[in-house]
Chains A and B, each alone.
Chain A
């Protein structure tokens, strides 16, 4: 299924937020990187718009996909019911999931008939908001959304916290050394284990993956 409008740019690769790490990995380790997407990645957008505008107009996700497949949404940990009236501010955390099983799954669903059962954690439009001076929003992909959108996003590049990348590499070093064919940091060749020795400071790192089949 085509879930993205290809004409939309997800992220500028020349963004000044931090360094760019490009990796070519075997296709069979791609799913490992999806863990990073469920922890959250930054996107540079124009906040202060509705969830629909953010996801569809700015990030290129198709409206049908948002309406049909993304059934569970959290904004700053609050369950969202209406993607058109809910405004995403700067530094917000927006988590996207498919429909979930069970009573809890039905309860958390956007606009579901059981929404009242989680009233205490539902997003309300009068919730306090921060002035939107910056241009960064954290997105989290879960489950089917990761499976559907993850490959496109991660191939075009996602901004990660340096510590997040460091911890990921450290805890999966063996697999990454086996599964990574080559890596470049800002255009310079680098070995996977050398990533652990780099001080990225508090900056973000843009991780961009390409996959190749096992030879």
Chain B
């Protein structure tokens, strides 16, 4: 992966592709690369949908190799939702394929002079960009079917649905999975709207004729990969809990903790939780059967296999196994306890190309405004369909919770920097609230993951009982996560890394054996810090200051049942997070 594909969509005479060397960006991958390019090349004050913004799609450092779990892909740009820098990532097949084709990144630049829609085809022979307005307002599923008919079954697609074409701030970018379905999404921050603004409907990737990337030291690489895989398999979270129940295993537990945001963050527990829990979901999927039902990977090389496939009662494919955040967003947060209805909504979100967290939060805000009753699944389905139709209401809803709250006059809107909060109430788990508030990405549960900050010794040792502990832990986790996001590794490697020093060492060995470098844990920490600093600096120049590192006021005023607690971390403490 030693080249960057740049496509100038606004070139005279139509879109123009050129291939650059990595230059100053050598050694970067995933989020490290997307944030480096955006921070250096995008004017922070530009409009996110203007020709000055850039959309960067970057496989992880190890993508395209045979390293386990290395198939995540990052998408970066200035976000139309937050107004700051954005990195959203996804699984699926395109990351591995782009890696094998040698691309460290695709950068979409400029803006078409006419209002045309384009498809981009990339294979070993080069890049072909064609105008194709027949693709206009197709959903992701129909679009991928068309691409299969045109380019064959051995491709992968990166695409937008109707929401991206309409440039809605809740729009996602879809990445096809192993079955060539558009089920994996870089969801957050409206990255799909930026792709829409570039006039690119789909990027088709075909890696036929290419081999897996070769490591610098094949023997050490093989050995480290073996150790890494063994570590993942032996840990109860990655080796057993996630494959058995998927990410939705969290529903019962977060609900029991009283930190499960219910009915637009009014309550911390949901009565219908058991009906939509991971245990119930897995049992339903196992009973209904079907290929890849309860345990399935989202890309080749996945060892954990936390995904699955959701079929209806008659055995018809509906969507992939719905993930925890989505089950929560469209389930408990809207008072809905019907897994089949939630799966239908997930399918619609994937087809229209919408961030499921943002849409769930938005529908809950609309329910609070009185557009529907909490618990009315059909009304929720209809609201998502409005987005697909592009009605006036749909365009408002598709613009996210913050916009919808303003339009409908709702005060309780759970967003930070305009981005909806995920499935953990910050009053219950206050350390996550610190990350929601201070992340460079807006409210984001993956920005400060539990990734080995203790092993890496990021930021020194924290006294877990000190009041400053939550701020320091959040900072350390955000640094560690930024580094892991740069590798393209799935974040679910976190627990084995946290618990098993030998697995963490195996990961470092894997990176070193592949790249020929001699990274230490300290180097990884420095990488994480440098990414965060770049992102923070971009945001400051874009006008996002410390005053934006806040939760909405009501989290400090409204007590959350059943524990009846408010968010207690002070603004002064929040301001310490980025002091490093």
Q: How far is the CA of A38 from the CA of B249 in the complex (A)?
A: 12
Assembly CA distance A78 to B249 (angstroms):
19
In the complex, what residues of A have CB within 8 A of residue B269's CB?
A: 77
Bound-state Cα–Cα, A185 to B9, Å: 74
B429 within 8 Å of A by Cβ? yes
Answer yes or no: B538 CB below 8 A from chain A CBs.
no
Most A C-beta atoms less than 10 A away, residue of B256, B278, B427, B563: B256
Note all chain B residues with C-beta closer than 8 A to A34. Answer: 279, 283
Task: Let me know if A116 and B465 touch, CB within 8 A.
Answer: yes
Is A98 an interface residue when CB atoms closer than 8 A count as contact?
yes
Verify if B259 is at the interface (C-beta below 8 Å from A).
yes
Residues on B with C-beta less than 8 A from A99 are: 236-237, 241, 495
Question: Which of these binds chain A: B107-115, B162-170, B448-456?
Answer: B448-456
Binds A, one of B13-21, B121-129, B469-477, B517-525: B469-477
Q: How far is the CA of A166 from the CA of B406 in the complex (A)?
A: 44
- B428 contacts A120, CB within 8 Å? yes
**Pick from A35, A69, A95, A113: contact of B256, CB under 8 Å:** A95
| In contact, A106 and B253 (Cβ under 8 angstroms) | no
A164-198 to B contact mask, C-beta < 8 Å, 1/0:
00000000000000000000000000000000000
Inter-subunit contact A115/B464 (CB<8 Å): yes
Evaluate contact between B430 and A101: CB separation under 8 angstroms. no
A101 touches B257 (CB 8 A): no
- Which of B249, B427, B445, B565 neighbours the largest number of chain A CB atoms within 10 Å of its CB? B249
| Min CB gap A52→B, angstroms | 20
Residue of B nearest to A104 (CB): B424
Contacts of A136 in B (CB 8 A): none
Is there an interface contact between A144 and B432, defined as CB atoms closer than 8 Å?
no
Interface positions, chain A 73-119, Cβ under 8 Å from B, are: 74, 77-79, 95, 97-108, 113-119
A112 to B435, CA, bound (A): 18
Which A residues from 144 to 162 make CB contacts under 8 A with B?
144, 146-147
Task: Select one of A32, A69, A77, A113 contacting B257, CB under 8 A.
Answer: A77
Are B445 and A74 interface neighbours, CB within 8 A?
no
Chain A, interface size category, equals 35 or more
Q: Does A9 reach chain B (CB closer than 8 Å)? A: no
A-facing mask of B194-223, CB < 8 A → 1, else 0?
000000000000000000000000000000
Evaluate contact between A144 and B428: CB separation under 8 angstroms: no
* Complex Cα gap A105–B236 (Å): 12
**A95 contacts across to B, CB distance below 8 A:** 253, 256
B:276-311 near A, CB below 8 Å: 277-280, 283, 286-287, 306
Cβ contact within 8 Å between B430 and A38: no
Q: Do A32 and B283 touch (CB < 8 A)?
A: yes
What's the nearest-Cβ distance from chain A to residue B49, in Å?
Answer: 32
B473 near A102: Cβ-Cβ < 8 Å: no
- Establish whether residues A103 and B432, one from each chain, have CB atoms under 8 Å apart when the complex forms: yes
Give Cα A88 to B238, complex, Å.
Answer: 31
Q: Are A121 and B431 in contact (CB under 8 A)?
A: no
Contact check, A143 vs B249: say whether CB atoms are below 8 A apart: yes
- B274 and A35 form a contact (CB under 8 A): yes
In the complex, how many residues of chain B place their beta carbon closer than 8 angstroms to a beta carbon of chain A? 61
Quick one: which of B257, B424, B470 has the most chain A CB within 10 A? B257
Least distance between A125 CB and chain B CB atoms (Å): 14
Are the C-beta atoms of A100 and B431 separated by less than 8 Å? Answer: no
Shortest beta-carbon distance from B444 to chain A in Å: 11
* A208 CB-CB contact with B under 8 Å: no
Q: For the complex, give the distance between the alpha carbons of A35 and B253 in Å.
A: 14
A116 and B470: CB pair below 8 A?
A: yes
* Residue pair A38, B279 in contact (C-beta under 8 Å): yes
Q: Which residues of B contact A41 (CB under 8 A)?
A: none
B-chain residues with CB within 8 Å of residue A39 when the two chains form the complex: 274
Contacts of A116 in B (CB 8 A): 431, 462, 464-466, 469-470, 473
A121–B268 CA distance with the chains assembled, in angstroms = 12
A105, B495: Cβ atoms closer than 8 Å: yes
Given contacts A78-B563, A101-B242, A104-B432, 12 further A-B contacts (CB under 8 A): A77-B256, A77-B562, A77-B563, A101-B238, A102-B247, A102-B445, A102-B450, A106-B494, A107-B431, A120-B428, A142-B253, A147-B244
Interchain residue pairs A-B with the least CB separation, the first 10: A117-B431, A106-B450, A116-B469, A116-B464, A118-B429, A142-B252, A103-B450, A95-B256, A120-B565, A74-B256
Interface residues of A (CB under 8 A from B): 28, 31-32, 34-35, 38-39, 69, 71-72, 74, 77-79, 95, 97-108, 113-121, 140, 142-144, 146-147
Contact sample, A vs B, 21 pairs, CB 8 Å cutoff: A35-B279, A39-B274, A77-B258, A77-B563, A95-B253, A95-B256, A97-B256, A98-B236, A101-B247, A101-B494, A101-B495, A102-B247, A103-B477, A104-B254, A108-B429, A116-B462, A117-B470, A119-B470, A120-B565, A143-B279, A147-B244
